[in-house]
Amino acid sequence: MAAADESSRPFAGLSDVSISGDIPVEGDISVPVGPSRRDDEFSTLDEPVKETILRDLRAVGNKFIHVLYPKRSSALLRDWDLWGPLLLCVTLALLLQGGAAKGDDQSGPQFAEVFVIIWFGSIIITLNSKLLGGTISFFQSLCVLGYCIMPLTVAMATCRIVLLVPNSLVSFVVRLVVVTASFGWSTFASTAFLADSQPPNRKALVVYPVFLFYFVIAWMILTFTPTQ
Amino acid sequence: MSAGSGSRNTNTEPWGSFDDNLIQGGGSAVIDMENTDDTSGSSFEDMGEMHQRMKEEEEVAAEAAATEDDDGEFLGMKGLKGQLGRQVADEVIPEGQRSKQLIQVWQAGKRQASRAFNLYANIDILRPYFDVEPVQVRSRLIESLIPARMINFPQKIAGELYGPLMLVFTLVAILLHGMKTSGTVIREGTLMGTAIGTCFGYWLCVSSFIYFLSYLVNAQITMLQTLSLLGYGLFGHCVVLLVTYNIHFHFLFYVLWLVIGGLSTLRMVTAILSRTVGQTPRLLLCGTLSVLHMLFLLYLHFAYHRIVEGLLDSLEGPNLSPIQRVARDVPEVMLNTTMRSLGNMAKTR
C-alpha cells in the first residue's frame, strides 16, 4: 500500500521546494470565480476607442518596419492583420486614379480595377502556395503579400511627384529606376517571408507568381500618365 | 488495425457474421496518384466525392468522442464561441440550461457550415495536379516546342495544372504590356478585364471544345490532359508575343508565327494523333486544334499592335466603335505621319 502510494505520487517529495525570489516567473493564471471574471474578459470592449486604434496602428507600423528591413522574422506571420494591406491598397488605387491616355474616357486603371487586381492576385498566389504544399495559412499569406506592396506604393507617390516636372526623358528614366528598385524590393521582401514555408526544392514555383504579380503592379505604376 | 479499440464480438451466426471493423474503417485510404494510369481520367468530381466521404467519416468519429471543451477554432477565429455564447447567454436564456443548449447549437451550426465549406471550397481536390518540381516544369516547357515522332503509341501527356496556369497568367501580363504600348483604348471595359478574359477564355473554352470533340470521336484523352496540353502550347505564344510586341517587323512576326507557332501546334497535334484512331476523327481533331491555335496567335498580334495616332485620327474621326483596336502601320504613311506629328510638336513648343 505504501509502495503503491509512493509510486502513484512520484513527485510528492518536491511539494515543499521553494523558488528563490530572483527567478522571474511570468504568466497568467485565471481561475473561474464568477461575475468578476466576466468583467475582465470584456475589458478590451470597455477601453477607450483611442487606445484600441493606437494599438492597432502601432501593430501596423511595426509590420511596415519589418517590410522595410526584411529579415527572416516571424512577426508578420504570427499576428497577421489585414488593416495594413487595406490601407496600402486603397492608397495605391487612389494614386493610380485619374490616369488617362487619350480622350476623357476610362483608359487608365480605375480604383475598382486596381483593388480587384491586388486582392484577387493575392488570393490566387495564396491558393497556389497552399496547393504546392505550403505550411502558411490563408490569411497569413494575404497579410504578407499585402504588406509587401508598400515599396510599390512609395514608388507610386514618388512617380506622381516626378511627373510634375514636364521634362519627359529624365523623368522617365528616374521613374524607371525607382519602380524597378521598389519592384525588386517587394519581391525580395515577400519571398523572405513566404519561401520559408515551402519545401526547399519548390521555392521557385512559389516565387514566380509573386514576381509576376508585383511585375503587373509595377507595370501599371510605370505606365501611369496623369490627365493633361 | 488494432483489434482492441471498439471491436465487439458480434459472432452470432454459425458461419461467423460480418466483422464490424471492416465497415468502421479506422485507417485512411491513401491513393498514390503517381501510379494511376494517366488515361484513367480522375475527374474533379470523383476526387471531391472521395474527399467528402473521408471527411464525413472522420467527422462522425470525432463527434462521437467530442466533448464540450472543443476549442471552437473555425477559420482561424479562436475563442469566439466562448465570448459570444456567454454574451447571448446573459441576455436571453436562464442560467441552468444555457451553456449546454448554446454549445449544442453552436456545434450544430459549425458542423453545417464546415461541411458546406469543405464541399465547395476544398482545394485539396486540386492538390495532386500541382505536385511538380521546377525541373519538371522547365523540361515540359521546352518539350512543348519539340514534336514527338511516335504516333502509333499513345504519348504520355503530363496531367498537371501548375505550368498551364502560370503560362496563362504570363500571357495576360504580356498582353497587358502589348495593349499599353499600343495605346489601346477600351471603352466598354477595362484593360485588365479584357486581357484576363481573352487568355482564360481561350484556354478554358478551347480545351473544353477539344475535349468535347475527342469525346465525340472517342479519342483517348481526358479533360485534364487537354487543359494541360493547350496550356503548355501557350508557351510558344508567350515567346512570340514577347518578341514581336517590342520589335515591330511584320516579316519577323510571320517567320516566328510559322516556326514557333507551328512547332507547338505540331507537338499538340502529334500528341492527339497518337491517341485517336481513324482518318476522319484525326483530321477533325487535329485540323480544329491547329486552326484555332494558329489563328489565336495571329489575333493576339494584330489586335494589339502599335497604332499610329495621326493616321487613326485622320481616318476614323469622332465616330469610333466601342472597342477600338486598330492596326495600321503601312511604312510610308507612318513616316509621313511621324514627320507631321514632329512638326506639330515643334510648332506648339
Residues with Cβ within 8 Å of A98's Cβ and at least 6 positions away in sequence, in order, are: A108, A226, A227
Report helix, strand or coil for A226.
strand
Q: What is residue B230's predicted lDDT score, i.e. its pLDDT?
A: 95
Nearest chain A Cα distance for residue B123, angstroms: 7
ipTM of the complex: 0.72
pLDDT at B253 over 80: yes
* Numbered residues of chain A with Cβ closer than 8 Å to any chain B Cβ: 38, 41, 101-103, 105-107, 109-110, 113, 116-117, 127-128, 130-133, 137, 139, 201-202, 204-205, 208-209, 212, 215-216, 219, 223
Q: What is residue B45's predicted lDDT score, i.e. its pLDDT?
A: 47
- Averaged pLDDT for residues A189-216: 85
pLDDT at B149 over 80: yes
Check if the beta carbon of residue A119 is closer than 8 Å to that of residue A90.
Answer: no
pLDDT at B195 over 90: no
Provide DSSP, A40-104: HHTHHHHS-HHHHHHHHHHHHHHHHHHHHS--S-SHHHHT--SHHHHHHHHHHHHHHTTB-SSSS
Distance CA(B20)–CA(B6), nearest Å, equals 9
Higher pLDDT, B3 or B206: B206
User: Which of A75-89, B181-195, B313-327 bottoms out in mean pLDDT, i.e. has the lowest?
Assistant: B313-327
Residues with Cβ within 8 Å of B103's Cβ and at least 6 positions away in sequence, in order, are: B68, B81, B85
Report helix, strand or coil for A21.
coil
User: Which of A27-41, A44-58, B99-113, B322-336 bottoms out in mean pLDDT, i.e. has the lowest?
Assistant: B322-336
pLDDT at B67 over 90: no
Distance CA(A164)–CA(A83), nearest Å, equals 31
Averaged confidence pLDDT in chain A: 79
- Averaged pLDDT for residues B199-204: 94
Confidence of residue B145 (pLDDT cuts 50, 70, 90): very high
Nearest chain B Cα distance for residue A35, angstroms: 11
- Averaged pLDDT for residues A119-137: 86
Confidence of residue A116 (pLDDT cuts 50, 70, 90): confident
Quickly count: other Cβ atoms within 10 Å of residue A221's Cβ: 27
Nearest chain A Cα distance for residue B109, angstroms: 23
Q: What is residue A98's predicted lDDT score, i.e. its pLDDT?
A: 66
Name the helix (H) or strand (E) containing B323: strand B323-324
Check if the beta carbon of residue B293 is closer than 8 Å to that of residue B268.
Answer: yes
CA angle, B157 then B160 then B166, to 5°: 120
Q: Per the CB < 8 Å rule, is B183 touching A101?
A: yes
Residue B324: strand pairing partners: B185
Check if the beta carbon of residue B264 is closer than 8 Å to that of residue B171.
Answer: no
Nearest chain B Cα distance for residue A24, angstroms: 29
Residue A99: strand pairing partners: A226
Question: Residue A123 burial by CB count (10 A; 0-12/13-18/19+): exposed, middle or buried?
Answer: middle
Check if the beta carbon of residue B324 is closer than 8 Å to that of residue B187.
Answer: yes
Q: pLDDT (tens digit, 9 = 90+) per residue, A134-171?
A: 788 888 888 889 999 999 999 999 999 988 888 788 88
User: Which of A7-21, B3-17, B269-283 bottoms out in mean pLDDT, i.e. has the lowest?
Assistant: B3-17
DSSP B154: P
Hunting for cell 500571357 — which residue is that? B171
CA dihedral A6, A12, A14, A16 (to 10 degrees): -130
User: Which of A21-30, A55-64, B13-22, B66-75 bottoms out in mean pLDDT, i.e. has the lowest?
Assistant: B66-75
Q: What is residue B312's predicted lDDT score, i.e. its pLDDT?
A: 42
Provide DSSP, A109-173: PPHHHHHHHHHHHHHHHHHHHHHTT--S-HHHHHHHHHHTTHHHHHHHHHHHHHTTS--HHHHHH
Name the residue ranges covered by the structural domains of chain B.
150-314
Distance CA(A193)–CA(A199), nearest Å, equals 13
Q: Which residues of B touch A137 (CB under 8 A)?
A: 76
* Numbered residues of chain B with Cβ closer than 8 Å to any chain A Cβ: 76, 83, 86, 90, 123, 126-127, 130-134, 137, 162, 165-166, 169-170, 173, 176-177, 180, 183, 185-187, 190-193, 309
Name the residue ranges covered by the structural domains of chain A.
74-226
Q: Which residues of B touch A130 (CB under 8 A)?
A: 123
Highest mean pLDDT among A103-107, B64-68, B104-108, B303-307: B104-108
The percentage of chain B sitting over the pLDDT mark of 70, rounded to a whole number, equals 56
CA dihedral B252, B258, B259, B264 (to 10 degrees): 130
Report helix, strand or coil for B98.
helix
Confidence of residue A92 (pLDDT cuts 50, 70, 90): very high
Q: Per the CB < 8 Å rule, is B130 touching A212?
A: no
Question: Residue A114 burial by CB count (10 A; 0-12/13-18/19+): exposed, middle or buried?
Answer: buried
User: Which of B112-121, B303-312, B337-346 bottoms out in mean pLDDT, i.e. has the lowest?
Assistant: B303-312
pLDDT at B5 over 50: no
pLDDT at B242 over 70: yes
CA A227 to centroid of chain Cα atoms: 32
Higher pLDDT, A174 or A108: A174
Nearest chain A Cα distance for residue B148, angstroms: 27
Q: At what angle do helices B98-120 and B44-65 cross, to 10 degrees?
A: 160
